[in-house]
Chain A
Amino acid sequence: MVRRFLVVLAGVVLLTALAATVQAQTPSRNLAPGFSTRIAGSKLLIVPPDIELFSQSAGGVLEPKADWTDLAQRHFRSALMAQTVVLAGNAMELGDKELDELAQLNALHGAVAEAVFVHHMMARPALPTKDNRLDWTLGDAVRPLRERTGADYALFFWVRDSYATQERKVAMVAMAVLFGAVIPGGLQIGYASLVDLRDGRIVWFNNLARMAGDLREAAPALETVEVLLKSFPAAQ
């Protein structure tokens, strides 16, 4: 089982390398066709970020860490509030309880975001009919959210982050020495997704997949947020 898991993670490492390449080549990959900036004076709704942090033991088992997740949520939020590009758009936050009431919409967004992540950002595999365009929409499913909040755009975040324990780092070195194999340590994966609440289109999307980043501390958390929000469209 551990071996299989390693194969899986090895694939992830490869993907990470590829992702970096892909992003560097096509900067407009993040934008839906015809979209470049948010409307001046528009309202932005920030949906509670879905963040979970894990510790990775020697055998690769991931263990959820509530204290880290808690810290991460707080640092993430602080970092977000420090982003003037975001806040300039008249930002407000959606409450957890309200999100619960829109559970099916949230589930739908999750599925769509995953499709965008896999088929557009990673293009592994790409969907030929999309023709390399960011062309996904939630359609009228977003209407209740717009009606409830009056917002013009909604910003979703999803982050899963794991950190290698000391044991794992030791195991990594041992594996490298014995087998010449590299097993990954911690991994940070996430996306940020901007939805136009007037027609449900995903108008901007960014993702990251890398072996760096630490959401448990304020400064590196700020860095993660900045990476995720790189090229986030201004309101003008």
Chain B
Amino acid sequence: MKRLIILLAAVWLAGCAAVVKVEGEQVVRNRLSVQLPSAWNRIANHHEPFELWTQDGAALDQLRFWSGVKPGEALIRTSFTPAGQTAPRVPTFAANMPPDQLVSMFEMLFSADGSQVKTDRIEPARFAGENGVRFEFAVIRKTSELQLRGVGWAAVRNGELFAATFTAPQLSFFQRLLPKAEGVVATARLR
């Protein structure tokens, strides 16, 4: 019985996400630095090509950063592809993407799990010291029908993409946590 429990522990912990506190200056993939006025929780081991931080848990709010994405690279990992099938398309950055197309990529990203996405606003804005785009959107999660709101920022420098998104439940959470997220994003700088 004891041996079994140890075995189970190993199996289970192998899949467990590691969460650490992040504060002060943080650098995403050596290229994008941000200042955190207050602490966030960094979720590691999620195997996705973006940085994931949260205040109350990933099922609630998510602050994501992409840094130095090169043309041809996808913004999320390919989801499970059954044998013999072509993998479904995933949002992939391409050279010379104009701002409107950057936003289309994120629409695709947030609807990949069957959720409904609608972009409400797109306008030019500075991000990480570069000219880029800021967009506002709404997400309805397929599984729980929970309504979320989101904001995103994206900019391209020397052919590489840098971006951030913040999503949280529309009821109460988004309004309350957005200033914290914006406070971090405003400090973003490219190295």
Interface residues of A (CB under 8 A from B): 7, 10-11, 13-15, 17, 103-105, 107-108, 110-112, 114-115, 118-119, 124-129, 136-141, 180-182, 200
A59→B162 CA distance, assembly (Å): 48
Contact residues of B with A, CB < 8 Å?
Answer: 1, 4-5, 8-9, 11-12, 16-21, 39-41, 43, 54-57, 59-60, 144-147, 169-173, 176
Residue B172 contacts which of A119, A124, A128, A138 (CB distance < 8 angstroms)? A138
Q: Which residues from A are CB-within-8-Å of B146?
A: 104, 107-108, 111
B172–A140 contact, CB under 8 A?
yes
Q: From B61, which residue of chain A is reached at the shortest CB distance?
A: A115
B16-A124 in contact (CB<8A): yes
CA distance A108 to B145 in the complex (A): 10
Chain B residue at minimal CB-CB distance from A128: B21
The residues of B that contact A115 with a CB separation of less than 8 Å are 56-57, 59-60
Q: Is the CB of A111 within 8 A of B11?
A: no
Assembled-state Cα–Cα distance A17/B9 (Å): 11
Distance in Å from the Cβ of B78 to the closest Cβ of chain A? 21
Known: A104-B147, A136-B56, A141-B172. A7 touches B11 (CB 8 A): yes
* Residue pair A108, B169 in contact (C-beta under 8 Å): yes
- Looking at the assembled complex, report how far the CB atom of B82 sits from the nearest CB atom of chain A, in whole angstroms: 14
Of chain B, the residue at the smallest CB distance from A116 is: B57
**Residue in B5, B40, B43, B144 whose CB lies within 8 Å of A129:** B40
Q: How far is the CA of A24 from the CA of B158 in the complex (A)?
A: 56
19 A-B pairs with C-beta separation under 8 A: A11-B8, A104-B171, A105-B171, A107-B144, A107-B145, A108-B171, A111-B60, A111-B146, A112-B56, A114-B57, A115-B60, A125-B16, A127-B56, A128-B39, A138-B171, A139-B171, A139-B172, A139-B176, A141-B171
Q: A107-B144, A139-B173 are in contact. Are A182 and B21 (CB under 8 A)?
A: no
Kindly list chain B residues whose C-beta atoms are within 8 Å of the C-beta of A15.
12
Contacting residues, chain B, for A14 (C-beta < 8 A): 5, 8-9, 12
What CA separation (Å) do A111 and B145 show in the bound complex? Answer: 11
Report B-chain residues with C-beta under 8 Å of the C-beta of A10: 8, 11-12
Closest to B11 in A: A7
- Residues of A with C-beta under 8 A to B169: 108, 111
